[in-house]
Amino acid sequence: MKAAIAEAKQGLQEGGIPIGSVLVKGDQIIGKGHNKRVQDGDPVTHAEIDCLRNAGRIGNYQDTVLYSTLMPCYLCAGAVVQFGIKKVIAGESQTFPGAREFMESHGVEVIDLNLGECQQLMQEFIEKNPQLWNEDIGK
């Protein structure tokens, strides 16, 4: 999760939304990314999507774990289900509940760490950038 938080902070420093993600296989990070929707002008470059793109084609994702600083939204949860990722560890879901039930209904184990650091990153960002945040979640 520390690597995902570092990705979130990097995104914030770039002027983007502070959400980070890493994909782990065994004890090795094989992909990492952060929300680049603002930086790239691409509405689907969420942290988890960026992470999966950076991991590249690995053939089989069933032995991987996806870490994300925020509970994945339906877009990212769809990618988790599509690629057969069986475990997602989220930093928090208080600022955004995401698509936990959707993932669980498709056999994904979801763990919410409820980390204060992740909540604080998002709360401060949402307070300062409500219009940008609402655009990111489709409101």
Q: How far apart are CA 9 and CA 46, in angstroms?
A: 14
User: Structure tokens of 10?
Assistant: 């990097």
* 48 catalytic residue (yes or no): yes
Q: Which long-range contacts (CB under 8 A, 24 or more apart) does 90-96 make?
A: 91/1, 91/4, 91/5, 91/67, 91/115, 91/117, 91/118, 91/119, 92/118, 92/119, 92/122, 94/119, 95/70, 95/119, 95/122, 95/123, 95/126, 96/70, 96/71, 96/122, 96/137
Q: Which position among 14, 48, 124, 135 bears the catalytic label? A: 48
- Which residues are catalytic, by number? 48
